[in-house]
Amino acid sequence: PRPGSPAWSMPPRRFRRARTSLPAQIGGAAGTLAAVVGLARLRGLADPVGAAQTAADATATALGLTPRAPWHTTRAPLTAAGDALVTAADAWGRIATDITLLTRPEIGELAEPAGEGRGGSSTMPHKSNPVLSVLIRRHALAAPPLAATLHTAAASYVDERPDGAWHVEWETLQTLARRSVVAGSQATELLAGLRVDAARMRATAEAAGADLLAEQRSLTGFVGGEILAGSEAAAGLDDYLGATDALIDSAVARAHELWKDL
């Protein structure tokens, strides 16, 4: 991903929204608080409806959840949680895809952390397979259909406890959450031990030669509508990285802000 818009910057925002807005489900069988209102009347409270709502809100707060109206047939809290997990899978999968590509023998710019009995090939002893990246990619490819199941179930809620739609949610969300924990652990191990062959990267860049500067050449060839001479157009092309350092610093600073409250 581009340094200015890292794929890993989105999941923390989704997680924080899903966590801080998780609502309590307090409404009784039909979502009307009828039983609590009835109890308040039996106790002779002047405002039984207000008392029932106050009790529901206080219970939610005590549980660390957000007070809100009953959401029996509005399944956005569950789909939001699933979407947050899938967004994380997308980011991890994007990283793993890059690493899978760059660990290919013909490229060889990256290598996964070594492990006992990990990554060997029974037919090609010299080969080291990117096992962690493959496992992360497996999760990234399998996660979106699970979130789709949650959305399909949400669209099928015809009453408070619909047959099938209600029952498919928890197993699906649990599977998605469990696999996300595993993939997150694998991504942590992968990035912590990733080996970078800077010399190989430099050799690849040098082999590409002037092709790396094609965009800069086309832009710096025009100033005020005038085409500069070749020697003048070449001025300023020595820094291929451009504003990369500043973009990386900005992305890392945003990441620190996103993660510090999680």
Q: According to the model, what pLDDT value does residue 4 have?
A: 39
Q: Of 121, 185, 202, 218, which is the active-site residue?
A: 121
Hey, which CATH number is domain 1-23+71-196, 1.10.10.410, 3.40.50.300, 1.10.460.10, 1.20.200.10?
1.20.200.10
Q: Give the SS3 label for residue 128.
A: strand
Is-above-0.75 flag for pTM?
yes
Active site residue 179: no
Q: Of 41, 118, 161, 178, which is the active-site residue?
A: 161
- Low-confidence residues in the chain, pLDDT < 50: 1-5, 231, 233, 235-237
CA–CA distance from 218 to each of 125, 194, 239, 244 (Å)?
46, 36, 15, 19
Active site residue 14: no
How many residues make up the chain in this entry?
Answer: 262
Q: According to the model, what pLDDT value does residue 126 have?
A: 57
Q: Give the SS3 label for residue 222.
A: strand
Q: Are 112 and 103 in contact (CB under 8 A)?
A: yes
Q: According to the model, what pLDDT value does residue 135 have?
A: 97
pLDDT tens-place string over residues 43-102: 999 999 999 999 999 999 999 888 888 888 888 889 999 999 999 999 999 999 999 999
> In the numeric block, which tokens belong to residue 58?
């206080």
Q: Where are the domains of the chain?
A: 1-23+71-196, 26-70, 209-262
Angle between helices 48-62 and 34-42 (to 10 degrees): 120
Task: Using DSSP bridges, classify how beta strands 195-196 and 110-111 pair: parallel, antiparallel or unpaired.
Answer: antiparallel
